[in-house]
Amino acid sequence: MILDTEASIEHMTRGTVRTSDAVLLVTEPYFRSLETTGRLAPLAHDLGIPHVWAVANKVRSARDEAAIREYCARHSIEILAVVPFDERVTEADNAGVAVLDHAPAGPALLAMSDLAEALERRLGVSRA
């Protein structure tokens, strides 16, 4: 099961995710987002969560990706996937439709598919 929680540290500080097999810290190439990722990773490790990975999201340029990679490397956080910024995600949201229906071959959706495959390999599970 994959659970998308609110963007806050509450789930870590309350320990509500302590029985998780993995935590994906979705981060963006902005200072506050990166700093939140840097605070969450140690909390997840302290809870005993065996797998803690970052997902770089809304990456618009090589510079964005480099900033996220540099920050995560400094904080010993492995990046599992890089999801590019894709205007079609915003278009789908504005239209009230799923991205999968709106832009099934868009770069963000392709990156998410790669992320799902990486999770399957790393966690030894398969999609049902």
Segment 48-106, tens digit of pLDDT: 999 999 999 999 999 999 999 999 999 999 999 999 999 999 999 999 999 999 999 99
Q: What is the CATH code for 10-123?
A: 3.40.50.300
Rounded percentage of the chain residues whose pLDDT exceeds 90: 80
Copy the structure tokens of residue 16: 């509500």
Average pLDDT of the chain is 92
Select the highest-mean-pLDDT range: 14-18, 32-36, 124-128.
32-36
Q: Provide the pLDDT for residue 128.
A: 64
Copy the structure tokens of residue 34: 């990166």
**Domain boundaries, given as residue ranges, for the chain:** 10-123
Task: State how far Cα 12 lies from the chain centre.
Answer: 16
